[in-house]
Amino acid sequence: MSHIRHAHLFRNGRNQALRIPREFELPGDEVIIHREGSCLIIEPVQKKNNLAMLLADWKPLQEEFPDITDLPPDDVDI
- The pTM of the full predicted model, rounded to 2 decimals, is 0.51
Tens-level pLDDT at each residue, the chain (78 residues): 468 888 999 999 999 999 999 999 998 888 999 999 999 999 998 776 778 777 888 888 888 888 888 888 888 888
Taking phi first (over 0 means left), then psi (-120 to 50 degrees means alpha), and beta for anything else, what does residue 73 get?
A: beta
Comparing CA positions, the residue from 20, 69, 26, 21 lying closest to residue 46 is: 26
Contact between 48 and 31 under an 8 Å Cβ cutoff? The reply is: no
